[in-house]
Amino acid sequence: MLLSCRRKGKKISDSIENELKKEWEKFKKDVQKTIEKNKTTVNGLKKNIETLHGEAKTKYQQTVDELEKQNDALQERINNYKEEGKERWEKFKKEFTHEMEQIGTTIKDLIKTNT
């Protein structure tokens, strides 16, 4: 009887682990697409720098450089993430998604102010 309960527990544990792995793989794939899109957009924003002058150019350059650094940092975090259980995964996912959204918002704001 005890052995049967352990087997069921292991099956449930394996099932949860498989679900987390699938969720992680989908999240990573989606994130990498977004990071690549951000890189392309940042490279396009860099081309606009030459059309600006003075303080506006300096501020724009700093913002673009910071976006590039933040996006690169996200790439590194996603590449180095190690599966550490459901609670840590949920926390990582929430924080990571928030940071990605902040980068996206900054990119959109920068595009709006320069069109």
CA atoms within 13 A on the CB side of 42: 22
Top-confidence residue, 115 or 8: 115
Distance CA 84, CA 46 (A): 38
| pLDDT at residue 4, as a whole number | 45
| pLDDT at residue 49, as a whole number | 87
Residue 1 carries which DSSP code? -
Q: How many residues does the chain have?
A: 115
> What single string gives the DSSP state of each residue in 29-47?
HHHHHHHHHHHHHHHHHHH
Helix (H) / strand (E) containing 51: none
> Does 45 have pLDDT greater than 70?
yes
pLDDT (tens digit per residue) in 47-101: 988 888 999 899 999 999 999 999 999 999 999 998 778 899 999 999 999 999 9
Other C-beta atoms lying within 10 Å of the C-beta of residue 21: 12
| pLDDT at residue 90, as a whole number | 92
